[in-house]
Structure 1
Amino acid sequence: MRDRSVYVLDAFSLIYQVFHALPEMTGPSGQPVGAMYGFLRDVVEILDRKRPDYMICAMDSPGKTFRHGAFEAYKADRPPMPADLELQIPNIGRFLAALAIPVVSEEGYEADDLLATIARMVERMGGTCVLVTSDKDCRQLISDRTAVYNIRKDELIDAAALQQMWGIRPDQVVDLQALWGDSTDNVPGVPGIGQKTASQLLGEFGTLEGIYARIDEVKGKKREQLEQNREAAFLSRQLVRLADDVPIEIDWPAARRGGFDTRLLQELGAEFGFRGLIMRVAGRGLQLPDASRESSDRTVATPGAVAADRRDNQALAESYRTVATEESLAELVTELSRQSRVSVDTETTSTMPRRAELVGLSLAWQAGSAVYLPVRAPAGEPRLSEHRVLEQLRPVLEDPRIAKIGQNLKYDVIVLRNAGVALRGLAFDTMVADYLLAPGERSHGMDDLAKRYLGLETIKIRELIGTGRSQRRMDEVPVALVTAYASQDADIPLRLADVLARRLHDAGLHHLFCSLEMPLIDVLADMEHHGIALDVARLEQLSVHYGRRMDELEREVHEMAGGAFNLDSPRQLAKVLFEDFGLPVLKRTQTGPSTDASVLSQLAVTHELPARILEYRQLAKLKSTYVDALPALVHPRTGRVHTSFKQDVAATGRLSSTDPNLQNIPVRTPEGREIRAAFVAGEPGWRLLCADYSQIELRVLAHCSHDETLLQAFADERDIHAQVASEVHGVPLAEVTGAMRRAAKAINFGVIYGQSASGLASALGIAKEEAARFIDAYFRQYPGVDRFIERTLAEARKNGYVGTLMGRRRAVTGIRPGAGGDAARQRNLPERVAVNTVIQGSAADLIKQAMIRVHGAMGSRRMRARMLLQIHDELVFEAPGDELDDLAALVVTEMGAAGDLAVPLKVDVKTGVNWADCEPYAP
């Protein structure tokens, strides 16, 4: 042990920090995983960067400690552990076991006491101890062999650092905290004495006893406070002093960093969606600070132990060949024309299909064999004419009777369409298939699928083109290398298709795959190909206007603050708000007080400066994200913006928009409308037409819940929010006020998203008790909704998944026993996910079905009109003036017939010259 390093983790200190700091995260089966991920990331960071010789994890034990005997109110105000966090604690234990990190706890003691005890053990054995915690109590343990490590700030606190921070020695920490107190733990301290004053007193008098022995020398209010709270000060010291003699035994050989359970780690990584993080552990041997120092009988992970054997893949490469002569091209076309299915992949110069130039095509029709046809290559390398290749392959590629297989086929459809070829007969997209099977997985990329389903390690694109500044284009890579890479991109999907098809059948998802997700690819490819026109001049004017307003706001804020500071710096802003102005700290992050939008919105109620900061931030975000960014994304040839719609991201089945994201432009704010006004019809005499489902998710809720009152309200085409307000408040419809309707609207959508009484209270600016009464009244008036929620949670608990009306499934675990009724109204994350998936996922399926129907009807009528965007429950088209009547009627008919619900699907249609100025359409 002598001169060895021991790192001791204060588990719950780290876990609570990451739980509150990270956004909600769910694993493949819908369970909350944010705390798990954050804690594991911290452990990996320490293993990677600090390379400890030993590592131990200390955890609080449930129940009271010896401190409660001295002070019953100790930690009495601590809220219970959040349900979403409680679910994750056992799995954190599984990760620690896989990492071979021993866990210690002892009844009647806190983790801090265990840290103290272990630190003293290590010191006696001649080692050095690092306590990984943000708990200030542990600073009393600092010595020449013990330090405290704050992982959030990457800050090691030793005696010198403590002196600089607090101006005291380690042996004075207990007395400082006795004076300072700790409101979080209900340690009283001396009111009015903060850290700075306590440090000054200890600097002058040395100890707590020294202060009271010379109390006459303390002046003014401080003396009065000290005299009145003498008993509280000494009690507080008793509470904060850590026990360093806890009767625990440490298995030091087990704590030695000598290996971990690689297989269990990989299983856990797959179960919770942490493959990348697990590979970082397993792939670099992070557990070994110095493998030569001590032997270990544990399995030591190496890159070879965690990567699939590449020999099988290399053997396959022997059946991959380049087709670069007219003779071999002719033979290939003859061979392909005899096939019933072909796997297709394109190699290009860009990941953005509308900007990509074709480098080559790869094709496979028999597992283990593939060909690559280069059309662009380095000088002197073999290649064929792009025109010649496409003309020869056109009969095969455009033949719908030859089934096309691929990975992310939408990309290939757009690339080939740019080159003048229509890829027809889309039959199986492996990316989309895996997304249906495992919507909670973070990646559906071919590399991951090959490893997961086939046990193959693929050639990675970075091995060919590099990364960063040294990255080159695919047409600059030798053809032999591209052949191996591109051929696997056709071969692997062909092999995956059979595996995934069986799984789709077994899961009851094959019909949804064939009837909804696969036909949607052509629709999305059309939309991305067309893009939407943009009024760049309008955005340039808006950029100037926003810039001037931001300058004005910055001057106003600086005047209020009494000096200049960086408005974009959270730390500088926090200092102004919480130190200079003394505003209350409402939330904390890993690095200090939060200044996010939710905090600023609350502070803005009572102070003007946060309100100005909010406006500044909103303008800055809109300016950088849309006003300045969109013009740069206009395609130089089409003059339009071509967003990308992703089918494989949202676990509910919703589409997402990227590069750029056009689904998040604000709808109701004046600034959002100004940006939307820049989206215009792209040809003279054309107009935009916007069609959106009216309250689609509430209609799905009415259908699923069979609630008679909701069903009747929609059947009668009543204002559903006013109807709910009338029912909840017990007043006639004519007497419903605007405030009542707004509250009812919040409740309606809160039911879907699992909003708590606290959340509703915050949204409406009312008391939590009043919000709870609203929610209770809602469920009394709409008992069918309550029964639907209970039924959904019971099915999720029984089956491990929930399903949409069209059969889409999403795995959900962690549903609490009996989580219905009142418990369902205080849902944890898995319960919110379960209910939300049924409603939002069903609505997403309906609009996908509507898109396919509308697209097909437009095509059969040979309309010039185009579908351009999907914004969740809204579709945006452009059409010549003489087609508007037909298009409006077609859209209403086809969208209304997209699903067979117990309530009518109502579609609202608007038209205009730009997206912001669309008005209700009247033929």
Structure 2
Amino acid sequence: MTSPSGQPVSAVYGFARDLANLLREKKPDYLICAFDPPGGTFRHELYVDYKVTREEMPVDLRAQIGLIRRMLEAMNVAILELVNYEADDVLATVATIVEANGGDCTVVTSDKDCRQLISDRVRMFNVRKNAFYDADALMTDWGVRPDQVVDFQSLVGDSVDNVPGVALIGPKIAKELLQKYETLDAVLDNAGEISGAKRRENLINGRAMAELSRELVRLVRDVPIEIDWDACRVHPINQEQVQELCREFGFRTLAREMAAFQVEAPAADKPEWIANYQTIDTIEKLDALVAKLADVKRLSFDTETTSTNPRWADLVGISFSWDQGEGVYIPIRSPEGDVKLDESLVLEKLRPILENSAIEKVGQNLKYDLVVLRGVGVNVRGASFDTMVAHYLLEAGARSHGLDELSLRYLQHETVKISELIGTGKNQIRMDQVPVDKVGYYAAEDADIPLRLDPILSERIEAEGLGDLLTDVELPLIDVLVEMEFNGIRVDVERLNELSRQYGERMEVLEREIYQLAGRDFNINSPKQLGTVLFDELNLPVIKKTKTGPSTDAEVLEQLAKQHDMPAKIVQFRQYAKLKGTYVDALPVLICSKTDRVHTSFNQVVAATGRLSSNDPNLQNIPIRTQESREIRSAFIPGTPDWKLLCADYSQIELRVLAHFSGDPALMESYQKNEDIHARVASEVYGVPLDQVTSTHRRSAKAINFGVVYGQSPFGLAKSLDIDKDEAYGFIDAYFKRYPGVDVLMEQILVDCQRDGYVRTILGRRRAIDGVRTADKRDRLKRQLTMPERTAINTVIQGSAADIIKLAMLRVHRRLEKEGSPAKLLLQIHDELVFETPPEYLEQLAQLVREEMESARNLAIPLVVDIKSGDNWAQCEPLL
């Protein structure tokens, strides 16, 4: 990301957004930012090689440090820095002072050195993961207490800072030693009795290095620095300065967020949280509640369960809210001796309410609740507002759309956290093991808050022109996704077991071949050992480096494969290991015992483009065109004997969207004639007749076509086609000369985004994007786009394609319901829908699906759907 003047500003942008989120969501009383001083520190005097292996800070990042300081000053955040001491030492001193005075301190960092600061009053916070880190998390990770962190690191060392540690003492051994001997001194004093001759020898001979390492990793808790605590208080930001910096850096989205940003008022001025939450613990109270809910037009509800997977979950209770501040909880499962009501009785009494579409339903992540209730025989109707989905439309790029964050941001209310009820890590319990009086308040609050958020978010939705997208697409889509998740898909376990055996055998063969080429055995899964073999023993060139040494990632191995046979075999080995671990061995474990099917979860609020994603398992990442991908897909079968799978796939939908938006005559003509667009582009780019286009020509043209959609540079195309950059540039230049309408479209997208700070898809979906340069700063002839510019173009095209397939899903779903079809929609994989159907309904289903998908949205050129059918996902053959 660069500013309008061409200055790198991506780090400034990320830092400022994180800082604003901390102020808004965590609401600290004091906030301090510590910087490392220029030059070395006392640790370099102790050990001349301290941090010597670290790469130099990138020039682009170094240039932004001063800009970050300017932003901090504009936001009135105190800065601390002390010569000869690292920022971590300053933070350690601050934390120590705060704790000594009875305060609580959060150290915002992912630096492992700061784990030694953890205590009852000091914890860490990881901004990227949006998660706190405490003593329990430390014990789970390293198996040590906070007071043992320094000794642990002294034994293990730190490759990032080049802290030596003790040779051959890894995290597992260090944990075992400290569990037995408690301290580093005790470990070293008893080194002679420790098992393992080499380990014993290293501990005895490495004592000096271990003690040196302790001095390097131990943070100084009393640095000689004066702290003006009043200046460290959180003060209102200087809006004038912040807005001026946002203009200078080109941060339109951040400018709008900052303009509405206010540091929270003192506690005495906070709005009072008035709530009347009750537990329904008798049938009489339940009957009274049902009577009340029958008279309301709109309510909010939430379910409490035993699992985050709705098809595996047991219902623990249901909560309702019908007016702001009012909430009730109905317990169904609870600890032995605690109050609960019979599940069947509760559901039968609530069914007329939940299945009445005239009573509008509000909630947070309603899809989950609807799948849970569908599992116990209740088909909820009338979903009218989902706070998570609404906020996703408003801020697609936000880190979280969780209820805790929304409550803090819009209601200034700190919610009860689920971790306060069920705990975390190995000590976590199920919700049905938590006393009802604790669950009751939490659950009622979870029903109340969405009702309070509804009018706030609805107003923003309308103001930003997203009302139709929410009402006509995203909310109705919830019912479709519920159906798909509830249905699940069957997998052939015997087939997967056979593939597991085959892949294991192939890996063993590859392993032997790799060892033979290396001349010795080594741990193929260890990047360090692999690096030693490749670069030290085989003398292959280092392509790129990471913090811990030469990179051995897939990109590097593919380049090295041109010089030696072993890297290619490593790539194959890794591919089999990934497929085996991610799908072949994992899928059987994910089969739900209630249904004998796999039920993936479709994520509606993750991808900023509007695309759906999936997890547990992630079926959208199964490779498509390899032999192994076909083998894995062959394990996906219909759930009923003799039924068929039907797959309907949009043909080149993103390129058709590109043609629609660009209106390029040549591109439009190709699609109107239903030509092979890749062959046509190959003919134009290579200057050969259509009937003389080779498979190599077509493959290159396909890379160009899809590269255009993603704003690919000549360098990127050259890499993907394994050609030189000049040849790639020639291809791209020839493409835009033949299809100038596409060039005009891309430029217009960037001009509009630079002006507005966002782009919109075909249905008006909005994505804020900062960092697009002004036209005079872009050299169109060089075809070099920045990441924000590529993102802007891709969002318009790919996001519009995502809009269209969502419309198609809605149309198909409604038609199937209307006709009472036995067919079931099971999966959406990007541009493809997968169904299962009785064979006698196959042709009728194919016709229905084609009609609805090809009519989903009127474009300037026709939408085309390819339909296949078969006994499993891999063996589907063209049907119509």
TM interval, shorter chain, is 0.7 to 0.9
TM-score by length of 1: 0.71
Amino acid paired to 1:464: L
Distance 1:421 1:701 in 2: 43
Amino acid paired to 2:865: V
Runs of 4 or more, structure 1, over 2 Å off, are 30-41, 51-59, 78-82, 84-104, 154-158, 252-268, 305-317
Q: Give the equivalent residue in structure 2 for 1:770.
A: 727
How far is 1:327 from its partner?
Answer: 1.1
Q: Which segments of 5 or more consecutive residues in structure 1 lack a partner in the other structure?
A: 1-18, 25-29, 45-50, 60-77, 105-113, 119-132, 134-149, 162-251, 273-304
Distance 2:404 2:238 in 1: 16
Q: Give the equivalent residue in structure 2 for 1:630.
A: 587
Distance 2:500 2:655 in 1: 38
1:368 aligned residue (325, 342, 346):
325
Amino acid paired to 2:381: R
Distance 2:268 2:825 in 1: 45
Q: Give the equivalent residue in structure 2 for 1:543.
A: 500
Amino acid paired to 2:743: D
* 1:56–1:102 contact (8 Å) kept in structure 2: no
Q: Give the equivalent residue in structure 2 for 1:814.
A: 771
Distance 1:264 1:572 in 2: 52
> In 2 relative to 1, CA 733–900 (structure 1 residues): closer, same or farther, beyond 3 Å?
same
Q: Give the equivalent residue in structure 1 for 2:574.
A: 617
Amino acid paired to 2:395: A
Q: Give the equivalent residue in structure 2 for 1:108.
A: none
Q: Give the equivalent residue in structure 2 for 1:735.
A: 692
2:67 aligned residue (80, 87, 90):
90
Q: Give the equivalent residue in structure 1 for 2:814.
A: 856
What per-residue deviation string (whole Å, max 9, x for no partner) do you get for residues 514-537 of structure 1?
000000000000000000010000
Distance 1:653 1:501 in 2: 19
2:160 aligned residue (153, 156, 161):
153
Q: Give the equivalent residue in structure 2 for 1:834.
A: 792
Secondary structure of 2:546's counterpart equals: coil
Distance 1:505 1:754 in 2: 32
Distance 2:277 2:676 in 1: 63
Distance 1:755 1:254 in 2: 52
What per-residue deviation string (whole Å, max 9, x for no partner) do you get for residues 635-690 of structure 1?
11211000000000000000000011000111111111110000001111200000
Are 2:602 and 1:645 aligned? yes
> Which residues in structure 2 correspond to 1:513-662 (within 5 Å)?
513-662=470-619
Distance 1:820 1:802 in 2: 18
What per-residue deviation string (whole Å, max 9, x for no partner) do you get for residues 107-156 of structure 1?
xxxxxxx999x9xxxxxxxxxxxxxx9xxxxxxxxxxxxxxxx9861335
Q: Give the equivalent residue in structure 1 for 2:303.
A: 346
Distance 2:238 2:441 in 1: 28
What per-residue deviation string (whole Å, max 9, x for no partner) do you get for residues 56-84 of structure 1?
4449xxxxxxxxxxxxxxxxxx99967x9
Q: Give the equivalent residue in structure 1 for 2:667.
A: 710
Identity score, percent: 52
How far is 1:381 from its partner?
Answer: 1.6
Are 2:734 and 1:796 aligned? no
Q: Give the equivalent residue in structure 2 for 1:233.
A: none
How far is 1:331 from its partner?
Answer: 0.9
Distance 2:539 2:227 in 1: 46
> In 2 relative to 1, CA 641–830 (structure 1 residues): closer, same or farther, beyond 3 Å?
same
> Which residues in structure 2 correspond to 1:6-21 (within 5 Å)?
none
> In 2 relative to 1, CA 52–834 (structure 1 residues): closer, same or farther, beyond 3 Å?
closer
* 1:397–1:424 contact (8 Å) kept in structure 2: yes
* 1:868–1:876 contact (8 Å) kept in structure 2: yes
Q: Give the equivalent residue in structure 2 for 1:903.
A: 861
1:399 aligned residue (356, 363, 378):
356
How far is 1:556 from its partner?
Answer: 1.4
1:382 aligned residue (339, 353, 359):
339
Distance 2:844 2:830 in 1: 23
Distance 2:717 2:343 in 1: 60
Distance 2:708 2:431 in 1: 50
1:780 aligned residue (729, 732, 737):
737
Aligned Cα root-mean-square deviation (Å): 3.6
* 2:12–2:68 contact (8 Å) kept in structure 1: no
> In 2 relative to 1, CA 38–689 (structure 1 residues): closer, same or farther, beyond 3 Å?
farther
> In 2 relative to 1, CA 893–627 (structure 1 residues): closer, same or farther, beyond 3 Å?
same
Q: Give the equivalent residue in structure 2 for 1:128.
A: none
* 1:802–1:837 contact (8 Å) kept in structure 2: yes
> Which residues in structure 2 correspond to 1:868-887 (within 5 Å)?
868-887=826-845
Q: Give the equivalent residue in structure 1 for 2:651.
A: 694
Distance 1:791 1:615 in 2: 43
Are 2:389 and 1:432 aligned? yes
Secondary structure of 1:155's counterpart equals: coil
Are 2:839 and 1:916 aligned? no
> In 2 relative to 1, CA 40–380 (structure 1 residues): closer, same or farther, beyond 3 Å?
closer
Distance 2:709 2:828 in 1: 22
Are 2:711 and 1:754 aligned? yes
> In 2 relative to 1, CA 753–897 (structure 1 residues): closer, same or farther, beyond 3 Å?
same
How far is 1:35 from its partner?
Answer: 9.3
Distance 2:470 2:768 in 1: 17
> Which residues in structure 2 correspond to 1:97-136 (within 5 Å)?
100-101=78-79
Amino acid paired to 1:685: D
* 1:465–1:471 contact (8 Å) kept in structure 2: yes
Are 2:416 and 1:459 aligned? yes
Amino acid paired to 2:478: I
What per-residue deviation string (whole Å, max 9, x for no partner) do you get for residues 816-869 of structure 1?
111556168211111011101000000000000000000000110000100000
Secondary structure of 1:688's counterpart equals: strand
Secondary structure of 1:335's counterpart equals: helix
Distance 2:283 2:411 in 1: 35
Are 2:851 and 1:844 aligned? no
Q: Which segments of 5 or more consecutive residues in structure 2 lack a partner in the other structure?
A: 3-7, 23-30, 40-55, 88-110, 112-156, 168-223, 247-262
> In 2 relative to 1, CA 35–739 (structure 1 residues): closer, same or farther, beyond 3 Å?
farther
Distance 2:874 2:404 in 1: 42
How far is 1:90 from its partner?
Answer: 3.4
Amino acid paired to 1:872: H
How far is 1:94 from its partner?
Answer: 2.4
How far is 1:754 from its partner?
Answer: 1.6
How far is 1:564 from its partner?
Answer: 1.2
What per-residue deviation string (whole Å, max 9, x for no partner) do you get for residues 601-653 of structure 1?
11112210101101100000000000000000011121100000000000000
Amino acid paired to 2:585: D
How far is 1:313 from its partner?
Answer: 9.3
Distance 1:386 1:584 in 2: 66
> Which residues in structure 2 correspond to 1:210-249 (within 5 Å)?
none
Secondary structure of 2:614's counterpart equals: strand
Distance 2:475 2:18 in 1: 38
Q: Give the equivalent residue in structure 1 for 2:428.
A: 471
How far is 1:756 from its partner?
Answer: 1.1
How far is 1:314 from its partner?
Answer: 8.6
* 2:34–2:81 contact (8 Å) kept in structure 1: no
How far is 1:716 from its partner?
Answer: 0.6
Q: Name which one, 1 or 2, has greater alpha-carbon Rg.
A: 1
Are 2:426 and 1:503 aligned? no
Distance 2:659 2:34 in 1: 58
> Which residues in structure 2 correspond to 1:197-212 (within 5 Å)?
none
Q: Give the equivalent residue in structure 2 for 1:184.
A: none
Are 2:865 and 1:865 aligned? no
Q: Give the equivalent residue in structure 2 for 1:190.
A: none
Deviates more, 1:554-563 or 1:87-96: 87-96
What per-residue deviation string (whole Å, max 9, x for no partner) do you get for residues 397-441 of structure 1?
100000000000001101111111111000000000000000000
Deviates more, 1:253-262 or 1:681-690: 253-262
Distance 1:95 1:680 in 2: 57
Distance 2:493 2:599 in 1: 14
Distance 1:89 1:861 in 2: 65
